[in-house]
């Protein structure tokens, strides 16, 4: 099957220029001069559109299996497709979580049956309980090993405990102490894997929360209970372990100015440290809680305008190399609870691409930066760039076609997630994905799927370790 994409402007990290593309049997077969004649089975007219390497969201929690009252993989990947993503990386914290190679393969089969976009899988570090299994998960092709550092885990299900004070100590696995994190990083380093952590150091969180005599009532209390220093402390410790061991270390959902500075310093020192911005920290600040209410609760919390400015600077200077959604759905009844009791996490997989494209429309990001932040650097960081995120002959023919001026308004009821709610409801902007190609086949047009779901697993390549 040969698909010919004609008339568009190809955007890569190197720049934008008119080009046609030939896809054959799922791969990129040729980059062609505009208008160059070629035999094909199907043609896709991209006139007036920007053709990006398929967009990747490296941070999605689909809760499936086991927590499907909150979300399913079929729903989250349908949303991903509608929004303009061609690949997502699925976080491991379902029930059971992906904690060994056999569970990795099982999860790949289960998700492969329902996926609307291609997907990579994260593995999960539990601390001492699965140290010996981490190498096998890396070898199987996990995009990374994730430690939920700021969270205790339910002992029976390994589910995240969002409100630690409510849990009885016998029923939870405590997050590892700093030495435990070192042990995990060493194992991941030995396997040539990527280590990532939810960076909020448990001891700092506990000390901060103890300063609130009445507990968490206001949003200001939430910011006091989860201060930037908890993030900085975790990033600095794990960053030094990365420097020491040579382990690749990826910081997810950076939320604070001081964290950006800590990451930049570690990068300058030679650590293999990469970092992620998320749309909600780039678009919202603590002031938005007036409009959104307690449902804005996410860990780490959305902070001040000054923190937000530092995140944009971090994207501009390259300290932060990817943008993700951290799609972390909960049921509406859970998100209607008071701030202290409700679980942390917000929807985002379907709104990521339009929010980033709106930043491009406003001139905050250049098109080639968008290609890097949503495709090229994401694929390189997680070592899937032998297939994804790069416009190169032989790579998967994944493309997101963008109308850079198309106006949009987010209507939460139209989202594909199981519980269609969004803290961006009513937002409007410009720039939208109008079609997607996944492995050489048209998969989405105007936000609607084309054909049946046919997403497949992509395995990351471990680094060679000498
Ligand atoms: C995430 C979740 O609910 O799975 N919640 C969140 O507030 N971000 C976990 C995480 O990424 O920390
Ligand atoms: Zn997290």
**Is the CB of residue 251 below 6 angstroms from any atom belonging to ligand 1?**
no
Q: For residue 444, tell me if it sits in a domain.
A: no
CB 131 within 8 A of CB 118: no
Q: For residue 288, tell me if it sits in a domain.
A: yes
Tokens standing for 193? 């894997």
**Is the CB of residue 198 below 6 angstroms from any atom belonging to ligand 1?**
yes
Look up the domain containing 126 and give its range.
Answer: 54-390
Atom of ligand 1 nearest to the CA of 151: 12
CATH code of 214's domain: 3.20.20.140
Q: Strands across the sheet with 172-173, in order?
A: 160-161, 152-154, 172-173
Per-block average pLDDT, block size 10, for the chain (466 residues)? 98 98 98 98 98 99 98 98 99 98 98 99 96 98 96 95 81 92 98 98 94 96 98 98 98 98 98 98 98 97 99 98 98 97 97 99 98 98 98 98 98 98 98 98 98 98 84
Spacing, Cα 280 to ligand 1 middle (Å): 13
**Is the CB of residue 61 below 6 angstroms from any atom belonging to ligand 1?**
yes
- Identify the residue whose C-alpha is closest to ligand 1 atom 6: 345
Q: For residue 156, tell me if it sits in a domain.
A: yes
Question: What is the C-alpha to C-alpha distance for residues 313 and 318, in angstroms, rounded to an integer?
Answer: 8
Atom of ligand 1 nearest to the CA of 198: 12
Spacing, Cα 46 to ligand 2 middle (Å): 37
Q: For residue 48, tell me if it sits in a domain.
A: no
**For residue 429, what is the enclosing H or E element?**
strand 428-438
Q: For residue 173, tell me if it sits in a domain.
A: yes
Residue 423, helix vs strand vs coil: coil
Cα 101 to chain center, whole Å?
22
Spacing, Cα 454 to ligand 1 middle (Å): 27
Atom of ligand 1 nearest to the CA of 344: 7
Spacing, Cα 296 to ligand 1 middle (Å): 12
Q: For residue 26, tell me if it sits in a domain.
A: no
Residue 149, helix vs strand vs coil: coil
**Is the CB of residue 298 below 6 angstroms from any atom belonging to ligand 1?**
yes
With 0-12 / 13-18 / 19 or more C-beta atoms within 10 angstroms meaning exposed / middle / buried, residue 153 is buried
Q: For residue 237, tell me if it sits in a domain.
A: yes
Spacing, Cα 59 to ligand 1 middle (Å): 10
Spacing, Cα 375 to ligand 1 middle (Å): 23
Q: Which ligand is nearest to the CA of 295?
A: 1
The pTM score is 0.98
DSSP state, residue 171: G
pLDDT at position 466 is 61
In testing the pocket of ligand 1, which one of 61, 225, 253 has its CB within 8 Å of the most ligand atoms? 61
**Is the CB of residue 398 below 6 angstroms from any atom belonging to ligand 1?**
no
**Is the CB of residue 93 below 6 angstroms from any atom belonging to ligand 1?**
yes
Question: What is the C-alpha to C-alpha distance for residues 340 and 219, in angstroms, rounded to an integer?
Answer: 9
**Is the CB of residue 344 below 6 angstroms from any atom belonging to ligand 1?**
yes
Atom of ligand 1 nearest to the CA of 63: 4
Question: What is the C-alpha to C-alpha distance for residues 32 and 36, in angstroms, rounded to an integer?
Answer: 6
Spacing, Cα 209 to ligand 2 middle (Å): 18
- Considering its fold, how many domains does the chain have in total? 1
Bridge partner residues of 449 (DSSP): 444
Residue 90 φ then ψ, to 5°: -90, 130
CB 349 within 8 A of CB 416: no
Question: What is the C-alpha to C-alpha distance for residues 444 and 332, in angstroms, rounded to an integer?
Answer: 28
Spacing, Cα 430 to ligand 2 middle (Å): 29
Three-class HEC string of 87-143: EEEECCCCCCCCCCHHHHHHHHHHHHCCCCCEEEEEEECCCHHHHHHHHHHHHHCCC
**Is the CB of residue 328 below 6 angstroms from any atom belonging to ligand 1?**
yes
> How far apart, in Å, are the Cα atoms of 350 and each of 75, 217, 397, 421?
10, 30, 21, 11
DSSP state, residue 271: -
Q: For residue 191, tell me if it sits in a domain.
A: yes
Contacts of residue 416, Cβ cutoff 8 Å, sequence gap at least 6: 75, 78, 79, 82, 350
Q: Which is nearest to 191 in space by CA: 130, 253, 237?
A: 130
Q: Which is nearest to 312 in space by CA: 257, 252, 244?
A: 257
In testing the pocket of ligand 1, which one of 71, 344, 347, 419 has its CB within 8 Å of the most ligand atoms? 344
- Identify the residue whose C-alpha is closest to ligand 1 atom 4: 328
């Amino acid at each position: 099957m040969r698909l010919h994409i004609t008339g568009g402007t190809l955007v890569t990290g190197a720049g934008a220029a008119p080009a046609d593309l030939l896809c054959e049997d799922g791969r990129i077969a040729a980059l062609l001069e505009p208008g160059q004649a070629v035999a094909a089975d199907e043609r896709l007219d991209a006139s007036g559109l920007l053709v990006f390497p398929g967009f990747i969201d490296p941070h999605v929690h689909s809760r499936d299996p086991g927590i499907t009252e909150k979300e399913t993989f079929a729903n989250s990947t349908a949303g991903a497709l509608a929004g303009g993503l061609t690949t997502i990386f699925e976080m491991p914290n379902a029930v059971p979580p992906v904690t060994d190679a056999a569970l990795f393969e099982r999860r790949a089969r289960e998700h492969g049956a329902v996926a609307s976009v291609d997907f990579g899988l994260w593995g999960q570090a539990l601390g001492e309980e699965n140290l010996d299994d981490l190498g096998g998960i890396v070898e199987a092709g996990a995009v990374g090993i994730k430690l939920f550092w700021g969270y205790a885990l339910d002992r029976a299900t390994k589910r995240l405990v969002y409100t630690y004070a409510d849990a009885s100590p016998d029923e939870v696995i405590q997050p590892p102490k700093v030495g435990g994190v070192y042990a995990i990083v060493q194992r991941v380093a030995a396997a040539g894997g990527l280590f990532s952590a939810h960076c909020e150091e448990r001891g700092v969180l506990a000390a901060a929360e103890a300063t609130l005599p009445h507990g968490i009532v206001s949003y200001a209390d939430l910011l006091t209970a989860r201060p930037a220093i908890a993030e900085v402390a975790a990033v600095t410790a794990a960053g030094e372990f990365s420097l020491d061991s040579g382990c690749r270390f990826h910081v997810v959902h950076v939320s604070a100015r001081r964290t950006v500075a800590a990451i930049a310093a570690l990068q300058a020192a030679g650590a293999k440290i990469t970092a992620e911005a998320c749309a909600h920290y780039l678009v919202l600040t603590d002031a938005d809680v007036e409009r959104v209410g307690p449902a804005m609760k996410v860990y780490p919390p959305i902070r001040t305008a000054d923190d937000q400015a530092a995140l944009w600077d971090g994207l501009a200077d390259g300290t932060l190399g990817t943008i993700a959604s951290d799609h972390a759905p909960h049921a509406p009844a859970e998100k209607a609870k008071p701030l202290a009791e409700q679980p942390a996490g917000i929807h985002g997989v379907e709104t990521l691409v339009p929010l980033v494209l709106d930043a491009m429309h406003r001139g905050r990001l250049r098109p080639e930066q968008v290609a890097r932040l949503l495709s090229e650097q994401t694929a390189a960081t997680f070592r899937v760039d032998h297939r994804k995120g790069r416009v190169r002959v032989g790579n998967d023919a994944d493309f997101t076609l963008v109308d850079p001026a198309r106006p949009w308004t987010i209507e939460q009821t139209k989202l594909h997630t199981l519980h269609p709610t969004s803290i961006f409801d009513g937002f409007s902007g410009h720039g939208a994905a109008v079609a997607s190609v996944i492995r050489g086949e048209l998969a989405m047009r105007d936000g609607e799927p084309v054909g049946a779901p046919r997403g497949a697993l992509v395995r990351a390549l471990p680094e060679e370790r000498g």
